[in-house]
Amino acid sequence: MDTKERIIESSLLLFLKYGGDNVSLTELKKASNITSGGLYHLFSSKEELISEVKEKFIMDYFKDVMVRIYDIEGSFKEKIGKIMYTILGFNNMFLKQSNRADEYYKKILCIIFRKYTQKQW
- Which pLDDT does position 57 carry in this prediction? 81
- In our burial notation (b when 16+ CB lie closer than 10 A, e otherwise), range 11-26 reads bbebbeeeebeebeee
- Which pLDDT does position 120 carry in this prediction? 45
User: What CATH number does the domain containing 4 carry?
Assistant: 1.10.10.60
Mean pLDDT of 41-52: 90
Same domain, 13 and 43: yes
65 is a domain residue: no
What pTM does this model have?
0.60
Same domain, 50 and 76: no
Mean pLDDT of 50-67: 81
CA angle 88, 63, 11 (to 5 degrees): 85
Same domain, 8 and 49: yes
- Which pLDDT does position 118 carry in this prediction? 61
Q: How many domains does the chain have?
A: 2
Is residue 18 very low, low, confident or very high in pLDDT (cuts 50, 70, 90)?
Answer: confident
Which structural domain range is residue 91 located in? 72-121
d(CA 8, CA 32): 8
62 is a domain residue: no
25 is a domain residue: yes
